[in-house]
Amino acid sequence: MEKKLILISNDDSVNAPGLHFLVDTIKDMGEIWVVAPDEPKSGQSSSLTFNAALRITEHEGYENARLFSVSGTPVDCVKLAMHNIVPRKPDLVLAGINHGSNSGNSVIYSGTMGAVFEGCMDGIPSVGYSLLHHSMQADFSECVPYIRKITATVLEQGLPEGVCLNVNFPAKVKIQGLKTVRAARSHWTEEYKQYTDPHGKPFYWLTGRQVNEEEGNEETDLYWLDRNYATCVPCQALQNASASDIAAVARMLESGK
């Protein structure tokens, strides 16, 4: 039987330790093709490049893994990989391990999850892995059994149509288990630091911290990450509201002035 083809991307760049840790963790499970941004692209969401040329560069890979960088975003990487790099349609798209959280509302800003949503929209089972620690020296070792189990299960069983996974791991702790939940509603507060430039003009720099709007709700990822569990959030790419919400809006607009 032909080996399963696994495409791996990320948003921290082709040089990120988390990417190489992920390759090492699952490289016995299939034929590995890595296509990642040539520079860090955190916070790039599902952005794509349509007003500039894209370049592909092959790098020295591993035994059983080929390694490429693309001069674009995580979505560009997955699109260009599908179109021009991998020899056949992947059986699985993975992204990560991200250096930093993609829990709560961070999922919508995440370039890592941008790559995952892109794989999902191509009909490929897709999973993003993230560690709640920004350091390039972060220790990913606690994640290994969880990544191996989730990856093997999804490779074997697939995922429901239109569904992909956003997996987050707590950092610097013994992980207590895995909870499959939904993303907590959250927002960021105190978002900008204001400075004054040498010419007396103001400028602004993004900062702030995430506030959980559903404190104490066991159905959400932030609840379990706070308690040292890993979380798996099943996601949909297309952002359609529920059927009942669609019906409610339809009634509202029909009766509106």
In the window 40-99, what residues touch a copy of itself (CB under 8 A)? 42-50, 52-56, 75-76, 79-80, 82-84
**Least CB distance to a copy of itself at residue 203 (A):** 4
Nearest approach, Cβ of residue 188 and a copy of itself (Å): 8
Distance, in Å, from the CA atom of 98 to the CA atom of 128, rounded to the nearest integer, reads: 8
Question: Which residues from 221-240 bind a copy of itself, rule CB under 8 A?
Answer: 232-240
Nearer to a copy of itself, 139 or 248 (CB): 248
Main-chain phi, psi angles of 113, to 5 degrees = -70, -25
The answer, yes or no, to whether the previous bond of 175 is cis (omega within 30 of 0) is: no
Nearer to a copy of itself, 60 or 156 (CB): 156
| Cβ at position 88, least distance to a copy of itself in Å | 17
8 Å CB contact between 132 and 170: yes
> Closest distance between a copy of itself and the C-beta of residue 141, in Å?
20
Q: Is 137 helix (H, G, I), strand (E, B) or coil?
A: coil
Check residue 211 for interaction with a copy of itself (CB under 8 A).
no
Distances (CA, A) of 99 to 63, 65, 124, 158: 25, 21, 24, 26
Under rule CB under 8 A, which residues in 1-40 are in contact with a copy of itself? none
Exactly one of 121, 144, 175, 211 binds a copy of itself (CB under 8 A); which one?
121
Shortest distance in whole angstroms from residue 163 CB to a copy of itself = 5
- What part of residues 154-173 is at the interface with a copy of itself (CB under 8 A)? 156-157, 159-160, 162-163, 165
CB-CB contact of 152 with 29 (8 Å)? yes
Applying CB under 8 A, the span of 19-27, 90-98, 114-122, 128-136 interacting with a copy of itself comes to 114-122
Task: Name which of residues 178 to 207 contact a copy of itself (CB under 8 A).
Answer: 178, 180-183, 185, 187-188, 191-192, 194-195, 201-206
User: Is the bond leading into 246 cis (omega within 30 degrees of zero)?
Assistant: no
Q: How far apart are CA 222 and CA 105, in angstroms?
A: 10
Neighbours of 150 (CB within 10 A): 21
Contact between 19 and 111 under an 8 Å Cβ cutoff? The reply is no
Among 152, 173, 176, 226, binds a copy of itself (CB under 8 A): 152
Ramachandran angles phi, psi of 220, nearest 5°: -115, 155
Torsion, Cα 170 176 179 184, to 10 degrees, reads -40
Stretch that binds a copy of itself, among 1-9, 29-37, 89-97, 175-183 (CB under 8 A): 175-183
Instruction: Indicate the residue among 139 and 193 with the shorter CB distance to a copy of itself.
Output: 193
In whole angstroms, give the CA distance from residue 81 to residue 245.
36
Helix (H, G, I), strand (E, B) or coil at 189: strand
Q: What is the smallest separation between the CB atom of 155 and a copy of itself, expressed in angstroms?
A: 10
